[in-house]
Every structure is written in C-alpha cells, then in structure tokens.
Chains A and B, each alone.
Chain A
Amino acid sequence: MQRFFTYIFILFLFFGAFHASAAILLVEEGVIPENGERSFSLMLDTEGETVNAIEGQITVSGDALLSDVRDTASIVSLWVTPLTIKDNALFFSGTIPGGFTGKGEVLTLVFKGTASGNISINIGDVSVFYDDGLGTQTDIAPTSIIRDVVLGAAADPAITDTIPPEPFSIGLINVGMTPEEPLYALIFATDDKQTGIDHYEVQERGRGDDVYTMWVSTASPYVVQDQTLSSHFAVRAYDNAGNVQEEVYKPEGGKGMIGGVLILLGLIVLVMVVRYARRLRTKRSV
C-alpha cells in the first residue's frame, strides 16, 4: 500500500513537469497621450518553462517615440549589452541567474506621443533560452502590437528620484588570450531601484590623483588605457534622474609600481657601491 501511495505521489509530482511549450512576449494594454509620456511593461510569459536568457529588437513606428527604457522591475539581472535607444529602436539581451518561471516584466518602455493616431511596436529577432545548461532555444514568435495615441489621455506622474545608485565595487580582470599576454579591464555593475541606471563613466587618474583623463562614457567591461596599472580608476554610475554614485579602484602594485621599486633598489645599490669604493680608496691612501 505504501508503494502505491509513493507512485501516486510521484505521478502527481511529474504531471506536467517536463511539458515543453513556447514563451510569449506581451506589451500591456493602454493608450499613449499626445504630447505626454506613458510607460508600458514588456512582459515575458514562460508558459510554465524555466528560462535564463532573453534577447530581442524592439522597433517603434507611427505617432509616438520610444523615449526611455527602464529595468528597475526587470526579471533580468545582467544585461549583456547596455540598454540604448537608437533611431526609435532598442536591442536588449540579458540573463537571469537561477532562471525564471512564470510571467514577469522584462523592461519598462516609455512612449511619448507626437500626434493623434497609433503606433506599431514590433518585437523581432527574439531568442529565449531554457535554463538547461545546453543553450537550447524555446519556440517564440515575433510580435507586432498596435497602441493608440490619444489627445488628453492620462500621462505618467513625474518620478522624483533624489537617491543615487547603489554603492558598488570595481574589479580588474584579464580579458586577454593568455595569462602571459594580459589585457586588463575594469568590471562594475550596480542598481538604481528608483529610475534605473542610465550610464557609466570612467576616468583614469595618476596615483596621486593629480593627473586626470577625460571622463569616458562606457560600459562594463572597460579595457583600461593604462595597461601598466599605474593609475587609479574612478567609475561613476548615473541614474536616469541624474544622481551619481562614484567609486574608485586602486590597483595594488602594478607594472609602474614595480618599475618604481626596481629604480629605488637600483639607487640604493648604487649608493652602497659608491660608498664601498670610497672606503677602499680611503684605506689605500692610508
């Protein structure tokens, strides 16, 4: 009898456990105000599967602009490429450690109506991967969605954000082909739970923090110009409200430091040799 119940238990556990199905991308319902902004959630429904990576291309045409994108409520933890809107289009590619099962927000898309009418939101080149360790793609079809742009429709309330992005740490890695031929790069990542991270900037400084390069707008990983690692490296994270969090990475040692130590040692040896020679000369003269 106990064995019977065990089998019933197991059948219950596995019912649907390995059922394969497709994933779906959706944009929530709503209308866009003419001359105003309205945000829409881009949602992923995994249809019961567990997935860990997603990418796609969003292009917008019609009577509104894709004015902003936020990831503050996203199920995606790590973006492979920065979220950048260009020519009313956005490419997104990111991963979810631990995977995700269910229906969750991938991105918040902000549209700004330019005239009454409608827009077409096309989501193409979509790939979603199972969390199976094999890089297996799910079945997911391109999507095209129409949303109306209406004069007088409700716009989003303004977001007040005075909180800077989260403090973060900076790492130094070798992205070179081999350990013998290193190519050093900075890695960094942080969050801003109010309006999201807009971009990062990096500055390379002399060790006395007295020589500066220009701030460079960049993304992680950032290959440093000073491959001798003689510099200090400052990274600023900007959120979408303009708040800034700055951190500084100070490499320990570095080729420049090693060179300096070698020069110092050389000088000490030189002084000792000179003193010894003088002492010998003094002895001979005596």
Chain B
Amino acid sequence: MLRYFNFALVFLTLFLVWGIRVSEATELRSDNFIVKDPVMSGGGTWSESDNFGLFTSTDLVFTGTSSTASSSQKYGFLPFPVVVTPQLTATLIGTSTASVSWTAAQAYLGWSVTSYRYGVSANDEDGPYTYTNVNLDLAATTTDLTPDTTYYFVVVVADAFGNQIGTSTPVSLTTPDDEDEEDEDDDQGDGTSSSRGRTSTVVFFGYAHPNGIVRILKDGIFAKEISVDRNGTFTVPLSDVSSGSYIFTVYGIDTSGVRSGLLSFPVTLLQGALTSSLRIFIPPTLSFATNTDDTFRVFGETVPNATVAVVVTDGPATLAIQTDVSDNDGRYSVSFPTPELFGEGFAIRSLASVGDARSPFGLAIHLASPTRALKGDFNKDGRVNLVDFSILAYWQGREGVPAAYDLNSDGVINLADFSILTYHWTG
C-alpha cells in the first residue's frame, strides 16, 4: 500500500510541476500582483532595489513596431495567443472505412482558426502522417484501409497563413483481419444475422446551444439525442441505418429547456456508404419578456461569440432588426420598443452566424400570442410525436371533436391542424 502511495505522490508532484511550468509561460506572479500580459520593451535598462524595480525603454509601452530598412522591432503588450485543440472521435464503418469527426478548435488573443489539416498514419502514432486540407469541415473519412492495421488520426489547426497553431491528441482504431471480414460476408450470405443487408452510419455534427441537447429524428421518429459541449459543438453518429431515402430532422434544446427550430435533411443512403451531414447550425432559441421601461426583450441561446440577428416581420416585410453578440455561454439579448408599435400577426425570428457558418431562422414568436407552449401535446407528456399525431388522426372526420384537438379553432380537424402540430413536433 505504501508503495502505491509513494507512486501517487510522485505522480501528483510531477503533475503540479508541469502545471506551474505552463502558467509561467503566460503570467508573472508575486504574492501581491499578477501581470497577465507581460511587457516586451525595446532596448532600455532595468534597475532594481530591495523594494522596487525600474525599467526604461527606447520604445513606447504600447503595441507597435519600429522599422528600419533592414529590421523591425516589436514592442508593447504582446499577448500570448492560445488555441484549444479539437477532440477527435474515430469510428470504423464496415471493415475498411474510418469516419473521424472532431470538435471545433477555439483560438484566442490574436489567432484565428482558418482551416484544418486531417492527418492519417498507419501503425505508428508518431507518424509520418499524410495530411489533407479539409478547410473548416469537422469530419473526414478515410477509405480502403488495410485489414488488421492500427491507424492513427490527428487534426492540425492552421491560421490564415496556413501556419500550424495547434495539433490534436491522436486517436486510433484497428481494422479487423481478413478472416473477420469473411465471417461477416458469410453471415450476410446465409441471411441469418443480417436480413436487412449492410447498414450505414450517418454522422451529424455542427453548432448548437452550449451544454444543451441535440435530438435526431429519423423520418419523424425519435432516433438519438446527445449533449452539446460547452463550446457549442456536437457530433452524433447514427449507426445501423439501412440503405434507402430518409428525412432526418435535427433540433436543439437549450439550458433553459427552450426548443430550437427543426432542420430537415433528405438523405439517400447507398449500401455500405457513409454520409456526413456537414456543419449543421442549430438556430438560436427565442424567448420573449416585457420590460418595465416601454420595451420588450427578446433573448435566447446559441453558439458562444456568435453574431445574432433578431428581426420583426409582418408577412414578407422586415420591420425591425437588432443584433447582438452572444456571450461565452451562448446567451444573447436585444430590446425593441413596446409591442404596441407592432400590429397583429407580427412575428419575431432570429438567426446566428460564426465565421462563414450561418444558421437558418428558428422558431417564430408571434406577438399576438407570445407563447412558446407546445401546441398539439394532447397527452401532456412534454413531447409532440406520433402519439399526438395518432390522436388527431383518430378525430379527423369525426363529430364532437374535443376543442383541445382543434388547433386552429375552425370547428373541424383537417390538414391545417396537422400542419400546426407538425410545426411543434419534437419526435
């Protein structure tokens, strides 16, 4: 036991020493102060006594460059740019295809993420890696993998000049040997283990509400849900999907439980093929509150540091626009004059953009009835799905319809009611 304790103590000490070494690279500390962005001065001298220090500089103490014909000298507060590297997930599709997806890198203090280079190495984590530029995509596939081989994958983050500013931790997977593949083929042949034929995997990834939930529906039916990370990115692999044509629907729920608009993707899967829906951008959520100062507030959640545009429309006409930049938790908020300025039937919508990615418009709030309550949740289970659809279908064409089922209050159950129910669909 004592041996294990000593080992743990050594490990902890090494960990702490490593952590201190990292912090020294960006900050200067004493008992009484912290210098977050140390000054790099040009020339000058440094004097010190027991109680104070004094420096002089030949340059100004703010960010800039002094240049001559043959050299230049930078001075001022020089930030230390950092980048949060991507987290990779590698999935084997069939026996010879790898699907690799990753979270978006985050760059700070002067750097910006402009592209990714996807690297693959066979049998050696240290490389050499073969790189492919995938721009800002967050997934890539490698086909024709050799059986019984371990493959390593990394993603290099590059800035606008193509310079490497970060590299992910490698992930690996091992392909099955030929015998495993033959066994699988045999299973397909006798029809006992796979009467459905070869299946595919669909990978959904993109931007959503930080720490929220993303749900996937397959042909309108709930298929899978996953938590969104704190950066507002998600990756959802949906496996064991038979070949054929599908409508996949994706939506998000933010940390306040507010649902986003739904996004639909018609997808046709060929046998054994991998399809990736690229960069899904879940629309911002939208809520409404009346302030005490003759204004009303529209707020919600989206990706952190996104430009959010909130618009007030009257049919096809755009009446007012406000913009905001979401905070680090993805929250945004804008204010408009009181609703009385707007007429009956006016609606509020919002969308967001980060870099070159832009969400579509989300659910609308209609000012005549500014509520986000689900319409069509007849069995009160918090979902609008096939159960509610079936209840409405039962009452279509019948007399004595309960008023709660007549969603547009026109006295009959018809396709207009189904359209309203479908708008609130959660699967």
Q: Determine the chain B residues whose CB is within 8 A of the CB of A53 once the complex forms.
A: 415-416, 418-419, 422
- A129 and B427 in contact, given A10-B323, A97-B220, A164-B195 (Cβ under 8 angstroms): no
Q: Is there contact, CB below 8 Å, between A135 and B307?
A: no
**Is residue A84 contacting chain B, with contact meaning CB distance below 8 A?**
no
Q: Determine the chain B residues whose CB is within 8 A of the CB of A93 once the complex forms.
A: 415, 418
Q: Is there contact, CB below 8 Å, between A72 and B316?
A: no
How far is B394's CA from A208's CA once the two chains are assembled, in angstroms? 30
State the main secondary structure of chain B at its contact with A. Answer: mixed
Q: How far is the CB of B260 from chain A (nearest CB, A)?
A: 11
**Is residue B387 contacting chain A, with contact meaning CB distance below 8 A?**
yes
Question: Which residues of chain B from 315 to 363 have a CB within 8 Å of any chain A CB?
Answer: 315-318, 321, 323, 351, 353, 358, 361, 363
**Is residue A137 contacting chain B, with contact meaning CB distance below 8 A?**
yes
**Is residue B117 contacting chain A, with contact meaning CB distance below 8 A?**
no
**Is residue B78 contacting chain A, with contact meaning CB distance below 8 A?**
no
By beta carbon, the residue of chain B nearest A245 is B195
Q: Determine the chain B residues whose CB is within 8 A of the CB of A97 once the complex forms.
A: 217, 220, 247, 249, 262, 264, 422, 425, 427
Please choose the segment from A32-40, A141-149, A185-193, A261-269 that sits at the chain B interface, where 4 or more of its residues have CB less than 8 A away.
A185-193
Q: Determine the chain B residues whose CB is within 8 A of the CB of A19 once the complex forms.
A: 316
Q: Is there contact, CB below 8 Å, between B418 and A80?
A: yes
Per-residue A-contact encoding for B349-379, CB less than 8 Å = 1, 0 else = 0010100001001011010000000010001
Please choose the segment from B27-35, B237-245, B289-297 that sits at the chain A interface, where 4 or more of its residues have CB less than 8 A away.
B237-245
Q: Determine the chain B residues whose CB is within 8 A of the CB of A72 once the complex forms.
A: 244-245
Q: Determine the chain A residues whose CB is within 8 A of the CB of B420 once the complex forms.
A: 133-135
- A135 and B419 in contact, given A77-B219, A78-B386, A175-B390 (Cβ under 8 angstroms): yes
Per-residue B-contact encoding for A156-184, CB less than 8 Å = 1, 0 else = 00000001101000010111010000000
Q: Is there contact, CB below 8 Å, between A173 and B315?
A: no
Q: Give the A-B pair count, Cβ closer than 8 A.
A: 160
- A75 and B266 in contact, given A14-B318, A135-B408, A187-B390 (Cβ under 8 angstroms): yes
How far is B425's CA from A166's CA once the two chains are assembled, in angstroms? 22
Q: Determine the chain A residues whose CB is within 8 A of the CB of B361 once the complex forms.
A: 17
Q: Is there contact, CB below 8 Å, between A173 and B391?
A: yes
Q: Is there contact, CB below 8 Å, between A98 and B244?
A: no
How far is B364's CA from A73's CA once the two chains are assembled, in angstroms? 30
Q: Determine the chain A residues whose CB is within 8 A of the CB of B396 once the complex forms.
A: 80
**Is residue B402 contacting chain A, with contact meaning CB distance below 8 A?**
yes
How far is B351's CA from A18's CA once the two chains are assembled, in angstroms? 13
Q: How far is the CB of B183 from chain A (nearest CB, A)?
A: 21
How far is B366's CA from A139's CA once the two chains are assembled, in angstroms? 22
**Is residue A204 contacting chain B, with contact meaning CB distance below 8 A?**
no
- A173 and B353 in contact, given A97-B427, A134-B420 (Cβ under 8 angstroms): no
Q: Is there contact, CB below 8 Å, between B389 and A173?
A: no
**Is residue B309 contacting chain A, with contact meaning CB distance below 8 A?**
yes
By beta carbon, the residue of chain A nearest B269 is A193
Q: Is there contact, CB below 8 Å, between A189 and B415?
A: no
Q: Is there contact, CB below 8 Å, between B395 and A75?
A: no
By beta carbon, the residue of chain A nearest B268 is A73
**Is residue B89 contacting chain A, with contact meaning CB distance below 8 A?**
no
**Is residue B417 contacting chain A, with contact meaning CB distance below 8 A?**
yes
Q: How far is the CB of B88 from chain A (nearest CB, A)?
A: 29
How far is B421's CA from A135's CA once the two chains are assembled, in angstroms? 9
Q: Which residue of B395, B416, B418 has the most chain A CB atoms within 10 A of its CB atom?
A: B418
List, sorted by A's number, 14 A–B pairs whose CB atoms are closer than 8 Å.
Answer: A6-B307, A20-B315, A77-B247, A95-B422, A97-B217, A98-B247, A100-B247, A133-B423, A135-B417, A135-B419, A163-B242, A175-B395, A191-B219, A194-B244
Q: A13-B358, A95-B422, A98-B217 are in contact. List 5 more A-B contacts (CB 8 A).
A: A72-B245, A96-B220, A98-B264, A135-B407, A189-B386
In the A-B complex, the 10 residue pairs with the smallest Cβ-Cβ separation, listed nearest first, are A193-B244, A98-B264, A135-B416, A98-B262, A129-B419, A77-B220, A98-B249, A133-B423, A97-B425, A53-B419
Binding site for B on A (CB under 8 A): 6, 9-10, 13-14, 17-20, 52-55, 72-75, 77-78, 80-81, 93, 95-100, 104, 127, 129-135, 137, 163-164, 166, 171, 173-175, 177, 185, 187, 189, 191, 193-194, 220-221, 223
